[in-house]
């Protein structure tokens, strides 16, 4: 696929690893690159959101919790997971919209943990518009020991090849 593809609408740049709806098959899966969580992640997310809960920002307090140390905010883990998944390049120029998700927080993510995303295609279906389809992905955020820290379904609308 050329880096720039002309379709039946405005010019759209399609990434070299991008997939169209037609390219997805139930059962396909990918692993993202890894990323180690740092104190900066916690501090920046607290500053961005205003969530200064001491379980995230006060080490002495956090030592007294079941976690034993500060943990990364759950929504920050989700945000990082979306960035890790983007690095696969599967959606670059072919995704139309993120439609929704169900999401479960199962285990804490601590400073020093190294996380990655496992993503699997669980369902594909065309919409009433034959130029679009919806892919449901099962997504897991795993740490360095393989523990699933967060998981759930992500639904994404994609262009079909017919649209181009």
Q: Do 90 and 30 contact (CB within 8 A), yes or no?
A: yes
The answer to whether the predicted template modeling score (pTM) of the entire model surpasses 0.85 is yes
Provide the residue ranges of all domains of the chain, joining segments of one domain with +: 25-87+96-163
> Domain 25-87+96-163 carries which CATH code?
3.10.129.10
Query: Which pLDDT score, from 0 to 100, does residue 146 have?
Result: 98
- Cα 90 to its chain centre, rounded Å, is 12
Query: What percentage of the chain carries pLDDT values higher than 90?
Result: 90
Banded pLDDT at 164 (limits 50, 70, 90):
confident
Contacts of 13 (CB under 8 A, 6+ apart): 3, 4, 5, 92, 93
Q: What is the mean pLDDT of the chain?
A: 94
148 — pLDDT class (breaks 50, 70, 90): very high
């Amino acid at each position: 696929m050329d880096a720039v593809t002309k379709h039946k609408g405005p010019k759209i740049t399609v990434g070299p690893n991008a997939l169209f709806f037609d390219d997805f098959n139930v059962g396909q899966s990918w692993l993202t690159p890894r990323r180690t969580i740092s104190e900066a992640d916690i501090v920046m997310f607290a500053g961005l959101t205003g969530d200064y809960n001491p379980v995230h920002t006060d080490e002495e307090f956090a030592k007294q919790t079941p976690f034993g140390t500060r943990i990364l905010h759950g929504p920050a883990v989700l945000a990082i997971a979306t960035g890790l998944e983007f690095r696969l390049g599967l959606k670059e120029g072919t995704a139309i919209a993120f439609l929704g998700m169900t999401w479960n927080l199962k285990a804490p993510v601590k400073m020093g943990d190294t996380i990655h995303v496992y993503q699997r295609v669980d369902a594909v279906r065309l919409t009433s518009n034959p130029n679009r389809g919806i892919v449901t992905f099962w997504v897991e955020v795993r740490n360095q020991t393989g523990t699933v820290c967060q998981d759930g379904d992500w639904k994404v609308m994609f262009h079909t090849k017919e649209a181009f």
